[in-house]
Amino acid sequence: MAFRLALTFLAGIAMMTAAPTASAQQVEGIAAVVNDQPITTLDVRDRMRLIISSAGVQPTEEMLARIQDQAIRGLVDETLQLQQAREFELIVDEAEVDDAIADIAARSGATVEEVEADLTNSGIDINTLRQQVKAEIAWQILVSGRYRSRIRISDQQIDMALDRFIQSASQSQYRLGEIFVQITPDGGEERAVGIVQTIYDQLRQGAPFQAVAQQFSDAASASSGGDTGYLPLSGLRPQVAEVVEQMQPGQISNPIRVPGGFQVIALIDSREGQVVEQLTLTQITLPNSQLTDDKRAALSEAASGINSCDALEDIVSGIEGVFVTNLGDVGANALVPTIRDALSGLEPVSATPVLDTAAGAQVFVLCDKALTGPGVPNTDQIENQLINQQLSLLSRRWLRDLRRDATIEIR
């Protein structure tokens, strides 16, 4: 399970993974101070154990340095978040923390008791996990309370997001797991190469991809275990797309050099485009045998004023020889390109210009349109996705501002 500690460790970290003795606790130092609130070296070691246990890896000395940096950074951020919660007199109920830990256990395929036992066997106090979860809950409440009511999503934003979804969902799609290791100014490319190679070696030895991504990936998808969801090749970096095309589900790529760092990719699944735009159409036809310039002009004028699909017969009744046909629901991909292009961008209820076809002069009226296929979001779901994206951005900015304004000393 994700919380089970790796069976063996390097000799150099044996002391770190052992539970601290009473005498060791008496000489614990201060690892950092955040606005006069100390973070002890014991706090850092406990968090490092939690990271190692959650990822299920056997860390090298190089990876331990990264884990230590990650532990300190996480503890600093959580301290700032909980300080902010106290400032707003926000108290997280312990029952909420219990529920969150139960959810973590369920996603790991374990019970709460098994998680607690694994943590204890790894020398980790359950309060280390509870403190982390409490900070996450408090921060989510603070961010939502401060920003959610201010976020406004326009119909245009929803339509644009839906259009992007249509374009990507109609193509072949690949569901990926990703781990991104950033090249940082302090570590440089050589350190990033060492880290990503160590991560890759751990994955080949059976470390769970989702847990490793959650703990070590620098990508935004880390919070979801590296799962990117289904993406078209056009939505991937060219270097990654080239590799993904050659992979089979279940395979893990070698480290891939990308702008800013390295990626390791797992192909979880692939599928053909399954989303189709369904159009409800009515066709108005002026046959070649009845076609004259005057009738064509009259049809064009009538089409420009169509705003309802219920009275089309009446609208064109004055044009001799014209007839109306209800085409019902038609997949956009089933239409010939000329008609599909003419309908592209139209909103219900509206009509195309007069088109010259083999049948004569024709106008196609778009009465309604919808997406069909698995996983098609409705407008409310798209709006919530856009809101959550903005909340995530605002959350990062707020935390960045708190770091900038705080007095933080790393020792």
Whether residue 136 sits in one domain with residue 24: yes
Whether residue 106 sits in one domain with residue 27: yes
Whether residue 291 sits in one domain with residue 265: no
Residue 247 lies in a domain: yes
The string of pLDDT tens digits covering residues 11-64 is 233 334 334 444 444 456 999 999 999 999 999 999 998 888 877 777 777 778
pTM over 0.95: no
Whether residue 118 sits in one domain with residue 29: yes
Residue 118, domain CATH: 1.10.4030.10
| Total of domains in the chain | 3
Whether residue 292 sits in one domain with residue 270: no
pLDDT averaged over the chain? 86
Whether residue 191 sits in one domain with residue 317: no
The rounded Cα 364 to chain-centroid distance in angstroms is 38
Residue 331 lies in a domain: yes
Is the pLDDT confidence value at 230 over 70? yes
Whether residue 131 sits in one domain with residue 15: yes
Whether residue 121 sits in one domain with residue 28: yes
- The packing angle between helices 209-216 and 61-87, to 10°, is 70
Residue 353 lies in a domain: yes
The string of pLDDT tens digits covering residues 122-181 is 888 888 899 999 999 999 999 999 999 999 999 999 888 887 777 777 778 899 999 999
Residue 390 lies in a domain: no
The string of pLDDT tens digits covering residues 80-107 is 999 999 999 999 999 999 999 998 888 7
By residue range, what is the domain housing residue 363? 276-372
In the chain, % of residues over pLDDT 70: 91
Residue 388 lies in a domain: no
Report the pLDDT value the prediction gives residue 374, as an integer from 0 to 100: 63
